[in-house]
Chains A and B, each alone.
Chain A
Amino acid sequence: MLLKKLTEAFGPSGFEDEIRQVIYEEIKSYGDSIYTDALGTLIVETNLEAKGPKLLVVAHMDEVGFMIVDINDYGLLRFRPLGGVDPRILVSKPVLVGPNRLYGVIGSKAVHLQEPEEREHPLQLQQLYIDIGAHSREEAEKYVTVGDLAVFATKYEEVGDRRAKSKSFDDRVGCAVLIETLKKKFNLPIVYAFTVQEETGLRGAGPVAYRVKPDLAIVIEGTVCFDVVETPSHGQSTIQGAGPALSVVDSKTIGHRTFREHILEVGAQEGIPVQLRRTIGGANDIGAIHLTGMGIVSAAISVPTRYIHAPSQMISLDDFFNTVRLLEAVLRSIEQGGFSI
């Protein structure tokens, strides 16, 4: 099961070795040339001699995670997030730590022991630690070194009707869409890139765009979705199950209008549900890509992801399959000359 394999792989920003290997095993018999760049992005070139606009199709393979920054006398691990994590969601969550994937729990003072005023405020990062069951610094140091990484320990599971949860649909769902797509043949020069360090500031994508110099770029993402409990429509961003979401504006990009309209049209023709992302916060690799060189026409297509940047992210499997369908349909339309820059 591809989504399970991808979402359970370890790969905080800057430390994508395991997930990169997992992806490589999936795709190694496809593509004309497969390599990594200096930052660690996995690049797959296909059909570069074909006519037509050169495309760069991107999903980031890193996930939000943590770095161990100190070990205290009690054998407890102090940590800092890699990527944007809300400290309020961390307490009591199980994590996997270090190269041996040691099981740990993010701990803090029990509610019984908290002073009344402590209960008024959410726990802050400096009040939290990872407990790996060690009794002392010396014992902990046998297993963990400062600089080791940790990720949420969540397993992939299917939930309810056609939904699934995992620790890292942002953006392993995008990686899965790319993998499914690069197994298909297109009469177009397409470069697929599984980028690094997106969560720490879109760092991997710019160098790839600079190297590839594409005419068009498409990013496949997992994006915010809060279509729950009395949220007004303009606070939801996206609706789960309503299809892939196209970015209009986010904090790093004003979307390319003509390209977005083309993708909407393709979705309508093919009977694929498509929605617009109705919020302005957040960003994705397009923020770095569209400003590379003399500017690149780009679009972001996202799978709505509830509880993003948290231990149990949830997507609709229908949205995932519809994103695979939409990307193929868009590439076919470009293949047939249906979109010119």
Chain B
Amino acid sequence: MKDLIRSLTIPSGPSGYELPIKNDIRQIVTPFIDECYEDILGNLYAVKNAKSSSSDKTVMLVAHMDEPALSVIDMDDHGFLRIAPLGPLRPSALVGARVVFARTGRRGIVGADHGIALKDLEFAHLFIDIGVSNPTDANNYAQIGDAATFAYGFDEIGDHMIVGHALDNRVGCALLIDALQHAQSEYTIVGVFSAQQAVGSRGAKVAAHRIHPNVSLVLDVSPTGDTPKSENSALELGQGAGIKVLDASMVVAPKWRDSLIEAAKTAHARYQMDVSPHTTSDAGAIFLTQDGIPTCGLSIPARYLFTPSQMVHLDDVTSAQQILSSWLSRLG
């Protein structure tokens, strides 16, 4: 699992241009699924048929593959690129950051106008330096509308902690890939590697409309409350996978929340309740689609979201893997 996560954190996947990560995922899942296709918003669908062909029920598992990014909005006479955020990035977390353009692979550094205090920093003060000196050269590597993501890759701290700029949500993608490969279910599993989550769960909205499943489960990270002066949350690293109770965009129906708790108990997997009133997830876009879709969520606790160094505990990933597998086998 760790190796899978590592390989998934390398390709870039800015919201709206998820191609590099999508191509990799497609290649990984193709051998063990029945069907694979994409849609207009950029979602990748991977379908695994039910064990018995008589079943007509569908479960949609969703993990967003995109990550927050910097979109080029302008270019100056020296080839510096002016940027605006796609998703919830903070200007202060970006100064000096190393980034990579998804379409061209060109690397760059985020710089800031001189003389602006960190607390006053806005995106209008930031630019990306891609090591050129004029717009003609710059155009070969990045054009208006191109997007760059962090370029830090994967690291390990001690025996249990993994760190990466895109653990949100390549950890979820890894769990979804694992489920597609190993899960046994009476339901047809439609795995959706969703696009454009960071800008407001846009991919999930149209995916839910297309699939209209009997039930949906969202795999995503959730911020912990276990670091100095962190926001108040009971979620802790290493205490098990989070079973979503609610987030800012939705409340999970108790029946489906409890189905995950039962699955965790059956699998003897550790879990904690995830109450995240200040974050949103694809679940919020899915459960209100058409006539309403039963939607629940498994969360991987994560520290330092929206920075280049997001941290996750491997035991929590294992717990999530066990709960998901147990839940899928109990469906029906």
Q: Which residues from chain A sit less than 8 Å from chain B, CB to CB?
A: 232-235, 248-249, 252, 254-257, 260, 276, 278-280, 290-291, 293-297, 341
Contact = CB atoms under 8 A, between A and B. Distances in A.
Interface string B215-256: 000000000000000000000000000000000000000000
Nearest to B285: A291
B17 A257 contact: yes
Contact of B16 (A254, A278, A291): A254
- Most chain B CB atoms below 10 A, which of A234, A293, A297: A234
Contacts of A296: 40
Nearest to A233: B74
B73 A249 contact: yes
A249 B86 contact: yes
A63 to B, nearest CB: 26
Contacts of B71: 248-249, 254, 280
Given A249-B84, A254-B199, A257-B17, A278 B40 contact: no
A259 to B, nearest CB: 10
10 closest pairs, A vs B, by CB? Answer: A254-B16, A234-B82, A280-B84, A234-B74, A295-B40, A295-B206, A248-B145, A294-B210, A295-B41, A278-B74
B124 A234 contact: yes
A270 B16 CA distance: 29
B85 A280 contact: yes
Nearest to B196: A254
Given A234-B73, A249-B84, A278-B73, A294 B39 contact: yes
Nearest to A252: B200
Contact of B144 (A235, A256, A276): A276
A280 to B, nearest CB: 4
B145 A260 contact: yes
B76 interface: yes
Q: Is the interface of A mostly helix, strand, loop or mixed?
A: loop
B47 to A, nearest CB: 15
B86 to A, nearest CB: 7
B276 interface: no
- Most chain B CB atoms below 10 A, which of A249, A252, A278, A296: A249
A294 B205 CA distance: 8
B66 to A, nearest CB: 10
A295 B17 CA distance: 16
30 contacts: A232-B124, A233-B74, A248-B71, A248-B144, A249-B71, A249-B84, A249-B86, A252-B200, A254-B16, A254-B71, A254-B86, A254-B196, A254-B199, A256-B40, A257-B17, A260-B145, A276-B144, A278-B74, A291-B202, A291-B205, A291-B206, A293-B209, A294-B39, A294-B40, A294-B209, A295-B39, A295-B41, A295-B206, A296-B40, A297-B40
A260 B71 CA distance: 16
B15 interface: yes
B15 A254 contact: yes
Interface residues of B, number: 25
A278 B144 CA distance: 8
A35 B259 CA distance: 49
Nearest to B210: A294
Interface string B284-320: 0000000000000000000000000000000000000
Nearest to B72: A248
Contacts of B40: 256, 290, 294-297, 341
Given A279-B84, A294-B206, A341-B40, 7 more contacts: A249-B16, A249-B73, A276-B144, A278-B144, A280-B71, A280-B84, A294-B209
A249 B198 CA distance: 14
A278 B15 CA distance: 18
Contacts of A278: 73-74, 82, 144
Contacts of B15: 254
Nearest to B126: A234
Nearest to B205: A291
A257 B16 CA distance: 9
Interface string B83-111: 01110000000000000000000000000
- Most chain B CB atoms below 10 A, which of A256, A280, A296, A297: A280
A9 to B, nearest CB: 34
Interface string B46-87: 000000000000000000000000010110100000101110
Given A248-B71, A249-B71, A255 B145 contact: yes
A249 B145 contact: yes
Interface string B182-200: 0000000000000010011
Contacts of B202: 254, 290-291
Contacts of A290: 40-41, 202
Nearest to A248: B145
Nearest to A255: B145
Contacts of B206: 291, 293-295
B16 A235 contact: no
A231 B200 CA distance: 30
